[in-house]
Structure 1
């Protein structure tokens, strides 16, 4: 068991074990000079403090070992970086109560070490510091941190996704697509002899196509964390060909040279996804993982919800790509065409003519009315160059298309005539 206490300007970690006692810890400190507790806290012999009377701590016991792991001031606790194995000292606001679950997830996973692996700056939780993780957001992070069951489910999902390429197991959406493709292959134009009440094949197949796209996207969003960003780019990039019929091909990892800064040298740039229209004109698409807070900040800046850093970075990145494309000229067009000729319809050549960009990022189903309002300002600010679409917005667009097609199919099928009813009877 691990406890914490703020005492005389210091953070004290108290460790006890009912099963094995402290003998192993004493031996390790004596022989090596340091020991790691619960795969998270590395304490040293010099951190050890003397025993205290039972009156000072309710959890006093002969088997308790106490270590100083940091300091406390009026605003923050500072935990030494080497205790947690971080790149910087950890700051936690004094207003936040800390316990073992603040630092350790199931299976003895160090929470802050996981965070430290994906950031290059000091981790600050709560308090007034700029860039600090808000206290309520940190509480939500702890609550939502993957359990052992979720980790097992994630592993199984990843395995299933790999095996699906080689086995016959399919999701409902994929099964529906198989039926759609089969019907499309055997369908033909309606003839007058087929009867007035026959549903036109084209409308029905369009309905099935968009229903598949919508269901497939919803399936992925329900299990979003088990997909890598590359998975979203591969899957959603292909779905865009179905959603936006003006595009006939998706090109992956498109090489563009940037010569603007120095004419004698060039820098290689790679666009993850490029959409090619039926006339060869190209646009680019930037697809990010659907993080819940992937659009606007949780905190306000001067009464405004501003774009989160990832979205701002994506906008800047896509604008630069558009700039590099426009500067590449005919040489760039020819280079892209030759490199990706196998992915283009026969005879189609790439054309760069005032390309635009689409950014697919984040969820808006959890935003407040004010947050959605401010996000719309961001969208309109860049609308002349970039169209920013949330995953929920994409789902709503698909729902509207499906509703319109369903209505059209119902209207085109019409009621059966009296003669047809009599003949069928």
Structure 2
């Protein structure tokens, strides 16, 4: 039996997460601001109706938001990650196979059926996720990954009520109303080239000869043409899962003016990067760390960057932290640092280890630490070099409680 691909996508994911545990936010203008409360990263439809836009620096609209009663939330990634896990568990419960594509998107493979029954499937997925997670989602279904993406794009339009199925009877109509730049994998640059050739819609792209697509744009656009016509040409394996480089970097909430503070900040980011590395079961052979001042400070832009080749590939937080804190002494200057970061490079699968090397670290200890932080909340167990107070950490003035990862923040129910 052939299969159908569903793409389930959280609607306005970050703002919807904030509304789950605070029903008073529902139906109100709400924005979520990025690290250090820097810029708007997502907003509710009500906030968009006020004229607020994504990626606007928050300080430019702070007074407007206060005057118009806009709810402001700092990014709460621990909360969003936990809700994402719950959402994907429900969405993938009855499928053949699935692939989490991003924090708010999951591809799932189901048995093919009539358009009517597939619409029922989409509505059931929406209903189940809303009932169990209280997260509104859109569902697009199609015979290929690209068509599922296109269907999900259409599902957001009026009339579809959050579910769209693309099959032979409506494929041309839906693709004909979709710009090439909205097709998964096309993007602005290729879209401009297609436009110069008179190809403006997804339907026109689908009608392009595959040999021409390959010759002019390469194998991926050739596959896209196949996919738009309902032939599977991409698979889970074509999607990059493990990153080749992993970085943790942030602007600080309070300038770092001491070497002790700089060591703590760099150690914190070293451990964050190492945690992500362990999450994809990889190790790194090389690292880079840096710190710089702000162009808006009187000192102007200055800073340093240092690369270290590790004695052996590792994902051990303590080893990576120690390598950096030992080297930072020779880099430090008495200036107010504004941005710091750590990157892990030359990444390879964690199985390729030298079992006779003493520099591998303590993988069992790292595993226990990761499990405890999953169960008790991020940062419950940490490397002491990260510091206790962390006064340099990013500003999150409007941070919502950690409802799902902190015992003190669990909502109280009064009967």
TM-score, L = length of structure 1: 0.23
Larger Rg: 1
Which fold has the larger relative contact order, with Cα–Cα distance below 8 Å and residues 6 or more apart in sequence? 2
